[in-house]
């Protein structure tokens, strides 16, 4: 398996534009997490899914952020409209199942810069 | 007001020394813990894990200790090498209403000098 795949690796966009980040989890994993990493706040959990259903989105900063998981092999994190303070590295991670004592595997991240 | 960034704890050691990295977790209902290593420009990578019914687990050159009484984890790295230089995070899997939720500590920067 190629691991968790995120795209794009880098994204530079202008303030006010819509940004969509994509994630393909490891095949067979049914828990998926979106994290944001910044110097200011470290590694923050934004939302996580179990069996494609959002379980906890309490970390989503505001209504400008939304996440979907239409099927077991794909998830998106969308920011609309984007703002400079959204600049960060966004990580997606997947895990075998919610209750398993197994680690979450991380993608390489998407570095987002909003100018 | 002026915003400040996180002031990550730092640990600087000489090659060959043993390193101990500490972490305090927040949820007394957390039942599973993981240590991750993150190198520059990469996502966090798994090092070792431990269940809440254990107090110690050993891997290759690494040992994790868990003290549930004070909600404290530590990662011990034996014979630290320059390649161990990275940011180290502990993560906890929540219990109760937060079951399955994986949250991370702030991280510790480890620098190993040759």
CA distance A34 to chain B (A): 10
Do A80 and A60 form a contact (C-beta atoms < 8 A)? no
Alpha-carbon Rg of chain A, whole angstroms?
Answer: 13
Out of B46, B100, B103, whose CB is closest to A103? B46
What's the pLDDT tens digit per position in B46-64? Answer: 999 999 999 999 999 999 9
- HSE value, Cβ hemisphere, 13 Å, CA-based, for A35: 26
Q: How confident is the model at residue B95 (pLDDT cuts 50, 70, 90)?
A: confident
Task: Judge residue A72's burial from the number of C-beta atoms within 10 Å of its C-beta, 0-12 exposed, 13-18 middle, 19 or more buried.
Answer: middle
Rounded Cα gap, residues B67 and B31, in angstroms? 12
On average, the pLDDT of chain A sits at 94
| First-to-final CA distance of chain B | 41
Do B87 and B28 form a contact (C-beta atoms < 8 A)? no
What's the pLDDT tens digit per position in A46-84? Answer: 999 999 999 999 999 889 999 999 999 999 999 999 999
Cis? peptide before A8, omega within 30° of 0: yes
Out of B99, B101, B106, whose CB is closest to A42? B106
Do B82 and B14 form a contact (C-beta atoms < 8 A)? no
Show which of residues 29-48 on chain A sit within 8 Å of chain B, judged by CB atoms.
31, 33, 35, 39-43, 45, 48
């Amino acid at each position: 398996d190629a691991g968790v795949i995120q795209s794009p690796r880098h994204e530079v966009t202008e303030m006010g534009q819509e940004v969509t980040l994509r994630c393909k989890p490891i095949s067979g994993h049914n828990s998926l997490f979106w994290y944001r990493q910044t110097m200011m706040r470290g590694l923050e959990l934004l939302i996580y899914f179990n069996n494609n259903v959002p379980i906890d989105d309490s970390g989503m900063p505001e209504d400008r952020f939304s996440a979907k998981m239409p099927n077991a092999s794909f998830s998106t994190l969308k920011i609309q409209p984007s703002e400079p303070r959204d600049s960060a590295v966004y990580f997606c991670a997947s895990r075998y199942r919610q209750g398993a004592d197994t680690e979450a595997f991380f993608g390489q991240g998407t570095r987002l810069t909003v100018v | 007001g002026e915003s400040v960034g996180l002031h990550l704890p730092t640990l600087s050691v000489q090659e060959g020394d043993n390193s101990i990295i500490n972490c305090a977790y927040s949820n007394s209902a957390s039942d599973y813990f993981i240590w991750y290593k993150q190198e520059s420009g990469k996502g966090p990578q798994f090092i070792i894990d431990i269940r809440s019914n254990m107090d110690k687990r050993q891997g290759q050159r690494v040992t994790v200790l868990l003290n549930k009484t004070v909600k404290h984890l530590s990662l011990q790295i034996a014979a630290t090498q320059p390649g161990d230089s990275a940011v180290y995070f502990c993560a906890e899997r929540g219990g109760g209403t937060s079951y399955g939720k994986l949250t991370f500590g702030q991280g510790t920067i480890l620098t190993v000098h040759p």
